[in-house]
Amino acid sequence: MTAPTDALQQVLDRLPGHKGNGDKWTAFCPCHENPPTGHKPSLSIARGDGGRVLLNCLGGCATADVVEALGLEMTDLFADAPPHVKHRTRARTSVTAGAATPSFAPTRQFVTAYPYHGACGHLLFETCRYVPKDFRQRRPDGTGGYVWNLDDVPRVLYRLPELLAADPAAWVFACGGEKDADAVAALGCVATCNPCGEGHWGRLISDSALHGRRLCIVVHKDVVGRKHAQDVGRRLHGKATEIRLLELPDAITGAVNDAADWVEAHDGQDNEELAALLLALAEKAPRYSPPAEAEPQDAPDDTETDSQAVLVVLANVTPERLCYLWPARIPLGKVTLFFGDPGVAKSLLTLDMAARVSRGMPWPDLPGERTTPGGVVLLSAEDDPADTIVPRLMAAGADLRRIVVLQAVKHINGSSAYFNLTQDMPALEDAIRRTPDCCFVVIDPITAYLGGTDGHKNADIRGLLAPLAGLAARYGVAILCVTHMNKGAAGRALYRAMGSLAFIAAARAAWLIVEDDKDPLRRLMLPAKMNLAKHPNGLAYRINERLVDSIGPVGYVDWEKEPVLMTADTALAAAAADPEHRTALDTAAEWLRTVLAAGPMTAKAIQDESKSAGMAWPTVRRAQDMAGAKTRKQGFGAEGAWYWFLPDDVAKALNTQP
C-alpha cells in the first residue's frame, strides 16, 4: 500500500477510526454521523491524480461541507498546492452546552432548539432547527454538553408535561412540527407533535397521553401532511375520545399551509380572539373517518341490545418500545414486586436503588454505565425518615434533594391522614408530578396502604392495583411494591408473596429477596417472574456499615460482582430444608409472643429486650409475621415511635401515646 501524502494524512488524522484498504479508506462522515452509530461508515476517502484527496459521502453530504467539518479548506485536498494558495487549517468545533451548531453543520445557521421533556419535566433531547431548513437531534451527555444522536432515548410527544397538565376536556391540537405546536400553544391552546417530522408518529414510545382526549389534527396542506394526518388518526382511532381533521382556511394575505402560517397571517389580532377562532374551527372540522375494516359492525336491525363491542384493529396499534429503569430488571411504566421474609434488608435494598437513581450512578451489574439522575418518591410505613431513611440514603451516596417521602395526605377540610391506595391515588399522582424528573416510586410495604381492602381477595386487589399500573404507564415511572412472604413452607416462589395472587399477577416483574442458606449474612435477589423479557441472572449482596458524619455507623448494600445462577424456587426449597433456620425463627416467634403478651412495645424497647435475651435482632424481625405481631406508628416526625403489638391488643395500641 502506498504511503499517504501529506494532504491525505492530514485528512485521515482528523477522521478517528478510519480504516484503509489499498489506496482507499473509509470513515464516519463528520457531517451526519456520530460514531459509533451501529452501521458502516459512509465516507469514502481515496487518492486522486497528483496526490489530491477524493472525498465521497454515500449519505449525500457535499464535499465542501465535509471539508469544513474537518476544519480544512478545499485547497488542503491538493498535495501540490503552492504555499501562497494554502490556507491555515482551523480546529474543529466542539459541542458544549452553549454551542448551538454541531460540527457536522458548518454551513447552516442555527435558529432554535425545541426541547422534548419527559412526563415529569426532565429534558430527554432537543431538535435543533437550522437555515437552510434542516433539523438535527441532540441529547444531554450528563456533563453539560450534547451527543448528536438519539440512541436509547425514548421518543415522546412534544410539550408532554403541558399536555398531561391540561384540562382533559380541552381540545388538543396535533400539529405537523414543533414550530406549529409552539405557535398554537402561544395562543393558550394545548398543542403537541411527534419528533423527527411528519410520517414518524410510529417512532413514539407512547401516545397514551392523547388517549381519552379530544384531538384536532392540524393538517399540513401537502401530500406528506395529509398522509401524516390520516396515519395519526388511524393510530389513535378508538383511543382518543374524538378526532377531527382541520385544514386551516387561507388568509386574505395569502395561502395558509400549516398552523404557523395561520397564526402569522393573523398577526396583530388578540391571542384570546384568535384562540377562540381556532377552537371554533376545531368544533366544525370534519370527523376522522377510519378505514372500513376498522369500523365496528352495527348490531342487526332486528336485534335489541344496550351494549356493543369496542374493537381495536391491531394494525392500528402503535408498537411501543419497552424501557427500563434498571436494564432487564426494573421496567419503566410498570409495577415491579419485591417479596421476602422480614430482616433480609428489602427496604435497605430499595434505598440503595433510590440513591443510584438520584445520582445517576451505575447499576451493580453494569459498572461504569452512568445514567441520567432522576427523582424518587418514597412511601415507607415501617421506617422513620430522620433516624433510618435519611442516614441510609446518605450512606448510599444519595442526592437527598431529588428524593421525597409521601408522609401524609392533606384533605380539603384541612385534615391529614396516612396515604391510602383506595382513595388517595390522586395524591400519589400529585407527588410524581411535583417531584422533578421523577422516574422511581417505592411503596414499602404495599400491604400497609390498602385501607380497608382485604389483601387476600383477588378481585379487590386487582381493582386497587389497576389504577396503580395505569399511573406507572401514564408517567413512565417504575413503581416498586414491597411485601413479605406468606407462611407456606413449600411451593413455587410465585405463590409465596403475601396476600392475594393478584399482587404477583399485577407485577410485570417480581423478585425474591432471600437469605443464602449456606451463608446467613449473604442475601440473594432472584427473579421470580419476568413477563417482559427472559429471566436475568440473580445478584448477591451483603449488609456492611460505613461511618456517616454526625450519625455514626450506618448499614449499606455491598453488592457482589459475580452473578447468581440459582433460581428463586431452588433458594426457597433450600431454606425450607434447613431445620436450624426454622428452629431459630420458631424460637424468636415464641419469644416475641411472650414479650408482647403484656401489651404493645416500641420497636426500640423490643430490640433492647432481644439483646438481653441473646436473640439476634434480624431474626426477631423475620419472626414478626410468624408471631402474628403487627406494627403501627404513633405520632409524627422525631416525636413519633413504632409500636409492635399482638392482634388482641389493637385497640390498646391505637390509644397508646408515645
Q: How many CB atoms lie within 10 A of CB 551?
A: 12
- Whose grid coordinates read 432487564? 328
Residues 6 or more apart in contact with residue 272 via CB below 8 angstroms: 188
Q: Look at residue 451 in the predicted model and tell me its pLDDT.
A: 78
Cα dihedral 360, 361, 364, 368, rounded to 10, equals 110
Burial class (CB in 10 A: 0-12, 13-18, 19+), 638: exposed
Q: How many CB atoms lie within 10 A of CB 560?
A: 14
Q: Look at residue 396 in the predicted model and tell me its pLDDT.
A: 94
Q: Are 503 and 446 in contact (CB under 8 A)?
A: yes
Residue among 486, 555, 492, 557 nearest 523 (CA): 557
Q: Is the dihedral of CA 405, 407, 409, 410 positive or negative?
A: negative
133, pLDDT greater than 50:
yes
- CATH 3.40.50.300-classified regions of the chain: 324-575
Q: How far apart are CA 133 and CA 128, in angstroms?
A: 10
For residues 559-585, give the mean pLDDT. Answer: 73
Residue among 242, 233, 278 nearest 260 (CA): 278
Helix, strand or coil, per DSSP, at residue 537: coil
Q: How far apart are CA 607 and CA 629, in angstroms?
A: 14
**CATH, range 324-575:** 3.40.50.300
Q: Tell me how many degrees the CA angle 550-556-560 measures, rounded to the nearest 5.
A: 150
Residues 6 or more apart in contact with residue 284 via CB below 8 angstroms: none
Architecture in CATH of 581-655:
Orthogonal Bundle (1.10)
Q: Is the dihedral of CA 35, 38, 43, 44 positive or negative?
A: positive
Q: Look at residue 243 in the predicted model and tell me its pLDDT.
A: 95
541, pLDDT greater than 80:
yes
Q: Look at residue 204 in the predicted model and tell me its pLDDT.
A: 87
Q: How far apart are CA 2 and CA 20, in angstroms?
A: 11
For residues 242-263, give the mean pLDDT. Answer: 88
Q: How far apart are CA 406 and CA 230, in angstroms?
A: 44
Q: Look at residue 352 in the predicted model and tell me its pLDDT.
A: 96
- CATH 3.40.1360.10-classified regions of the chain: 160-290
Could you read off the pLDDT of 158-184 as tens digits, one per residue? 999 999 989 989 999 999 999 999 999
Could you read off the pLDDT of 489-537 as tens digits, one per residue? 455 777 777 666 777 777 888 889 988 888 878 899 998 888 777 778 9
According to the per-residue pLDDT averaged within each range, which of 45-59, 289-303, 370-384, 443-457 is highest?
Answer: 370-384
Q: Is the dihedral of CA 641, 642, 644, 650 positive or negative?
A: positive
Residues above pLDDT 90, as percent of the chain: 26
> What is the pLDDT confidence band of residue 22, given thresholds at 50, 70 and 90?
low
Q: How far apart are CA 555 and CA 545, in angstroms?
A: 4
Helix, strand or coil, per DSSP, at residue 521: strand
Alpha helices, DSSP H, located in 237-381: 259-265, 271-284, 346-359
Match domain 160-290 to its CATH number in 3.30.70.1380, 3.30.930.10, 3.40.1360.10, 3.40.50.2300.
Answer: 3.40.1360.10
Q: Look at residue 286 in the predicted model and tell me its pLDDT.
A: 92
Could you read off the pLDDT of 596-643 as tens digits, one per residue? 877 888 888 888 888 777 777 877 887 787 777 888 877 776 677 888
- Tell me the average pLDDT of the chain: 80
Query: How many DSSP H helices and E strands does the chain contain?
Result: 18, 28
Q: Which three cell numbers stand for residue 372?
A: 441520567
- Dihedral class, residue 591 (left if φ above 0, else alpha if ψ from -120 to 50, else beta): alpha
Q: Are 198 and 224 in contact (CB under 8 A)?
A: yes
Could you read off the pLDDT of 321-368 as tens digits, one per residue? 788 899 989 999 899 999 888 778 899 999 999 999 999 999 999 988
401, pLDDT greater than 90:
yes
- CATH 1.10.10.10-classified regions of the chain: 581-655
Q: What is the DSSP secondary structure assignment for residue 499, as one 8-state letter?
A: S
Q: Are 52 and 75 in contact (CB under 8 A)?
A: no
Q: Look at residue 277 in the predicted model and tell me its pLDDT.
A: 93
Q: How far apart are CA 174 and CA 180, in angstroms?
A: 9
